[in-house]
Amino acid sequence: MGWTADDIPNQDGRRIVVTGANSGIGLEATRELARNGATVIMVCRSVDRGEEAANDIREDVLNADLRVEACDLGDLESIRAFADRLGDDELDALINNAGVMAIPRSETTDGFETQFGVNHLGHFALTGLLLETLGLDEEAPDSRIVTVSSGIHERGEINFGDLQREESYDPWDAYAQSKLANVLFACELERRLLTADANAKSIAVHPGYANTQLQFRGPEQRGSRLRKAAMKVMNTVVAQSADMGALPTLYAATAPDAEGGAYYGPGGFMNMRGTPERQASSDRSYDEETARRLWAISRELTGVTYDLPEPKAEVSA
């Protein structure tokens, strides 16, 4: 039997930020972290939905230590405001989980294509703004930055000539680009942390095919009842539960032997279900030149810089 939520180490005293904590993978990860003693800061676009989710967890986990915070990953001003509210409070882990999937083309508050803007740029900005709170000095316990990608990143390609998909837009291609960006970011961050000798790990994960509300947002925004019905069938027949889909995230955030720079996902049927294992991500995700170029562009677009050195040539994730 593989690693399950029963194997989560005691989390007493740990403070963890989870984005998109009010539903799906984020909700189940929050539930298990709280069950094991962590203080979880639930980052949600809607405070009302966040409070409903927190109350749901409290009914299941007595004395759950939860704090709901508003933050829209599609709005750089909202991200900065959230980071300012946290101030210098130390964190032990950041779980970059929130996301949108295969929606009709739209733009964030700052004019970015929404999937690239929320899934990648929003988390790039948030991580950079919270980096100093994550205890990177050598004497601190190792902190974790976990970025949730998707198996569909294997289809992705970073289109530097049309990052915002203004010239040609396919919702699944845009989603795949954003998820590849997640893996490239996680690996590049790990290289920079290693170069700085920081006591932190950057890890990428994917949930496999998990039964969440994420799959329905695209069909709902298109007004396609047929596609929504098809997704319901797939979620019922093929998908694993959201709590199983959260296991790679929980493993990366808590397991002592989780490795920085690694990519974890379900080890069962077609990597869509099962308990977490280390896996190989796509060939494109290991391209360090692409990762550095994406990092530079992300810094330019968000205005967020990281106090980390560029990686040395010999350092690999």
CA contacts within 13 A on the Cβ side of 65: 13
Q: Which residues are within 8 A (CB) of 237 and not within 5 positions of it... i.e. 6 or more apart?
A: none
How far apart are the two ends of the chain, measured CA to CA in Å? 28
Structure tokens at 47: 């405070």
Q: Angle 86-92-95 (CA atoms, 0-180°, nearest 5)?
A: 80
Q: Which residues are within 8 A (CB) of 190 and not within 5 positions of it... i.e. 6 or more apart?
A: 201, 202, 203, 260, 261, 317
Is residue 175 flagged as an active site residue? yes
CB atoms < 10 A from the CB of 6, how many?
8
The separation between CA 16 and the C-alpha centre of its own chain, rounded to angstroms, equals 13
The separation between CA 256 and the C-alpha centre of its own chain, rounded to angstroms, equals 19
Best CA proximity match to 288, nearest among 197, 207, 189: 189
Distance CA 213, CA 153 (A): 19
**Strand 276-278, strand 263-266: pairing:** antiparallel
Q: Which residues are within 8 A (CB) of 88 and not within 5 positions of it... i.e. 6 or more apart?
A: 132, 133
Single out the catalytic residue among 169, 175, 209, 264: 175
Q: Which residues are catalytic?
A: 175
